[in-house]
Structure 1
Amino acid sequence: MRTNAKLGRFRLVLRTSLGFAALGLGSSVCGSGVVALLLFLQGLPREIGDRGWILGVTSAGMVTLSLLVGTLWTAWLQRRTAIWFVLGRPPTKAEARRALRLPIDMATVSGTLWLIGTVVLGALAWTFGSGMDAVGMALTVGLGGLTTVGLTYLAAEWIARPVMTLALDVAPPKDKLPVTVLTRLILTWALASGVPFLGVLLVASPPDLGTGDHTTSLIVLSVIGLVVGAFGTALLARGVATPLHRLRIALDRIARGGTDVSVDVDDSSEIGMLQTSVNDLAAGLREQERMRDLFGRHVGADVARHALEYGASLSGDVREVTALFVDVVDSTALAYHTPPEELVGKLNRLFTSVVEAVTARGGLLNKFQGDAALCIFGAPTRLADSATSALSAARAIRDAVREAGELDLGIGVASGPVFAGQLGTSSRFEYSVIGDAVNEAARLTEIAKGAPGRILASDPVIAAAVESEQAFWSPRGELELRGRQEATLMWGDEEDA
């Protein structure tokens, strides 16, 4: 795996390096060739005579020198970028900000060298020819330089995508952008229309700047405009359409509920800001989902859904519910003789059985109370038969705990009207159920700890259950529970018999 990663890294570095080398060589050679062709077609300079070889040698020397100087100059400006990119380490913020200037630096270097060439060749044309020759030479070389600089910038942005992606990961685009989409549009317009049309205007308008065939020059300028415009527009379209396509796919996934979405930020313009915003949106949704999950784990999925639906208000209503209370037998002695971490492990396994049995039957584990648990059937989600669900859950919990053989417990089941809702203050509250049924279930649990089957249910619960569930239960006598003034008819399952 590591070898494949290194090989992929090597290929990326090699492809990017070769791309920059081809860009530097191709832009200089092609730009110089086009300028030489236009000068030849226009017959510039007109009065140089047999000294044309001086101009040719000077031009060739300047192109060669520009390649060397441009390469060294750009390498010096971006020397730190080359180091961290080749080594594969993350850049610092200062290094990332410098890397984001790579297209600008390349365009600046190219523009400076073309400006020097324009001045030198214009001066030679003036020396060996006339003032009009100097003007024609300067304008022709200058327009060729503008075209080359524009294409260099757009192509450098495309080639530098791998570098920009790593840099923008450290220094994402903010309010102050090194480049904007408007800048690219203006530059593309200049390449596709502005510079070629300006060249046509200079050739077709008086005074004549050359003795050549203007018709051929105009045709060549038109062809150059079409080719350069198509290439520049293709670079612009690729630089805008490709990231927007990825953003559309990412937003579609987010709209379908996906939060594991990440878009590579590889653009330093407004598009990069949009890429960053989509990543921030996905990260925010992931955080909300994490908080929702944690909230649901703390209070129960049904309570979390109820709170999200009705908001954070101290409100509730009276519900007919069935309460199921579970408590460990002789927990004080158990805590005294059992190491804390071992006791916690046993309790967690107990509560796992409780949660599985209650949740599977539509109930809610309302709260843990040390080594006890209160479960509710009928709130906040209404159930068609809360009594049957609670009785079935009680038997399932008892059977699972007995099978594990780690703890002994008592279970009490009672039903009746309770208040179910948010209880507390505006700054701190929890979902609670308050009513006699809860108290009755807790009292039955204490007695159930000594019953053979370890489960006792009140008569209303049995009466409300379906016949198939009632068959598991039989009466166990009446008892006046602590805090109540009426005797409770208790029922136990058949294991009590």
Structure 2
Amino acid sequence: MPTKGSPGKTSRTTAQRVGRVLERVTHQSGRPDTPAYGSWLLGRVNESQHRRRVRIQVILTTLIVVANLIGIGVAILLVTVAIPEPSVFEDAPLWISTVAVPIYIVLAVAFGAYWITRQTVLSLRWAIEERKPDRNDSRNTFLAPWRVAVVDLILWGVGAVLTTTLFGMVNHLFIPRFLLSVSFCGLLVATGSYLLAEFALRPVAAQALEAGPPPRRLAPGIMGRTMMVWLMGSGVPVVGIALLAFFEIVLRNLTQTQFAVGVLIISTVTLIFGFILMLILAWLTATPVRVVRAALKRVEQGDLRGDLVAFDGTELGELQRGFNAMVDGLRERERLRDLFGRHVGREVALAAEKEKPKLGGEERHVAVVFIDIEGSTKMVTKRPPAEVVEVLNRFFAVVVEEVDRQRGLVNKFEGDASLAIFGAPNSLENPEDHALAAARAIAKRLVEEVPECPAGIGVAAGEVVAGNVGSKERFEYTVIGEPVNEAARLCELAKSKPGKLLASEQVVEGASESERAHWSLGRYVKLRGYDQRIRTASPVEPAKPAK
């Protein structure tokens, strides 16, 4: 089977690049210019679990508390300014508005913060203990945002019932105001808390996704998220405005100016809350796409790392996992391409990729270089096998590097001999120039770098049939023709000549003037197995061993 010696410069570069890629892919860490989870706040993939737990708790608690405080401020604005009559301060006992309600707010915020911290720790215990998540751990992880939202709804619901009851006992006109305003803010805050919790829990969600996709009912998907945000950011507020108008028609407790101010305030709150919720949703949706886009740019540049972290439980997470699967396939293809190229030659492998290989060949004008080690049997018998292999590898490395440099193909390794072709399968404008230059460089380097392996080199040119030879199940790319045999015979004869390099007159005459200047024509010889005599040529300055 023909093999390709790809320690050549280009081949070695490809192999080294693939090696670096395979080495980097074993390290699961984000690039410094691309946050692994889409935000610097969430840290790096290789962060310790203890530090990650503290980070998540701080981010989650802070975001949820801030969201609730904003919601409380908006609720106070709605019940005191948007609907000023009756007044919560003048028309109700002060102990309700200045003692009971503030105490509940403080207790609710403190309890909510404590519950979030405690439940987060319980839900993420598997991550803290650094063990692989099972399906139940994965379920608890993706339930965490829902639990945060439910607790917010419960606390705000209790607050709505409490304030409605306390103020309603004083004046029934307070009932719709507190019931709708507090409930409205609670729904918006719970929705925001859910989205913010999803963001804060991305690092552990990424680890949980390693156990498999989340239960579908726990992951609402992009459409579910969008509809939920629309409902809470637009649908519910519009219903609130409509109810305000309805109660004003029924109760008639507001002046025209007060009603207009109330509608204006509720509309402004709706716009602000709707904008904030849509901003969070858009950011949550766009971030995974941006991470994939950055990874695609790396792939375009040849960086086939598959370390993209899948941290989203929706279709975007499936996109991230699909990207990693795609990169795995590309990396495997690159590995096979490199392996294939080492066996059959890069040019042959490239041609096989572009079109389906088939048996048969075509006539091509090529130049052929045949190299064979002199006294290889003696070397094998007198040296340890490991040393023989080491010497042969250095010998073939020289051959392959120079053939690659001249855009040739090392078609065969036959024991201690090799055959190089110039002009097939890739076309060369003047294959004779490339073959002769490669032969001279190989002869010089072998003398200097591998003196223990003297080798004869023969160069010939002419018409050959180049193509795939064999059967449909097993074939190889090769060339068949007179120049191959002639180069082998010239190689055999060159072993006894100074410089150990001979070329046929036809090759030298077909070369450019600049290349011919390096060669001198010699005498006519009769090669073994040939009836006709041919004229040989040798380098003007044959390679000589260093003294």
Give the TM-score taking structure 1 as reference length: 0.83
Q: 1:293 to 1:266 in 2, by over 3 A?
A: same
Partner of 1:478: 525
- Match among 138, 141, 144 for residue 179 of structure 2: 138
Amino acid at match of 1:456: L
Preserved CA contact (<8 Å) 1:45 1:133: no
In structure 2, the residue corresponding to 1:197 is in which secondary structure? helix
Correspondence for 2:455: 409
Aligned to 1:368: 413
1:270-296 per-position Cα deviation (integer Å, ceiling 9, x unaligned)? 333333334444443344333333333
Residue 316 of structure 1, CA deviation: 2.3
1:334 equivalent in alignment to 2:376: no
> Match of 1:202?
243
Q: Which moved more, 1:112-121 or 1:169-178?
A: 169-178
Residues 188 and 233 in structure 2, CA contact (< 8 A), matched pair in contact too: no
Instruction: State the one-letter code of the partner of 2:358.
Output: S
Q: Which residue of 2 aligns with 1:424?
A: 470
Residue 110 (structure 1) shift: 1.3
1:20 to 39, 54, 60: 60
Displacement, 1:375? 0.5
Q: Match of 2:195?
A: 154
Aligned 1:276-425 pairs, distance under 5 A: 276-404=321-449, 405-425=451-471
- Residue 78 (structure 2) pairs with residue 38 (structure 1): yes
Alpha-carbon separation, structure 2, partners of 1:174 and 1:120: 36
1:285-328: CA deviation from partner (whole Å, max 9, x where unpaired):
34433333333333222222222233222232011222211111
Q: Which has the higher contact order (CA 8 A, sep 6+)?
A: 2
Tell me the secondary structure at the aligned position of residue 311 of structure 1. Answer: coil
Which of the residues 492, 508, 530 maps onto 1:446? 492
Q: What is the DSSP-based 3-state SS (H/G/I as helix, E as strand, rest coil) of the residue aligned with 2:499?
A: coil
Contact 2:444 2:543 in 1 (8 A): no
Q: The residue matched to 2:425 in structure 1 has which SS?
A: coil
Letter in 2 for 1:352: A
Is it true that 1:229 corresponds to 2:274 in the alignment? yes
Aligned equivalents of 2:399, 2:482: Cα separation in 1: 22
**TM-score, normalised via structure 2 length:** 0.76
Residue 451 of structure 1 contacts residue 496 of structure 1 at CA under 8 Å; is this kept in 2?
A: no
Q: How far did 1:366 drift? A: 0.9
Deviations 1:355-376 (A, max 9, x none): 1222222321112112211111
**Distance in 1 (alpha carbons) for counterparts of 2:391 and 2:77:** 89
Note the aligned Cα RMSD (angstroms). 3.9
Distance in 2 (alpha carbons) for counterparts of 1:178 and 1:215: 41
**Do the aligned residues in 1 keep the contact of 2:142 with 2:219 (CA within 8 Å)?**
yes
C-alpha contact (below 8 Å) 1:29/1:63 kept by paired residues: no
Query: Percent identity at matched positions?
Result: 34
Alignment check: 8 A CA contact 2:364 2:423 kept: yes
Mark the CA change 1:175 to 1:73 in structure 2 (over 3 Å): closer, same or farther.
Answer: closer
Is the CA contact (8 Å cut-off) linking 1:411 and 1:454 kept in structure 2? yes
Q: Which stretch shifts more, 406-415 or 272-281?
A: 272-281
* Count of residues in correspondence between the two structures: 490
Instruction: Tell me how far apart the structure 2 counterparts of residues 386 and 441 of structure 1 sit (CA, whole Å).
Output: 14
Per the alignment, do residues 422 and 175 of structure 1 end up closer, same or farther by CA in structure 2, a change over 3 Å counting? farther
| Gaps in structure 1 of 5+ consecutive residues | none
Provide the secondary structure at the position in 2 that maps to 1:384. Answer: coil
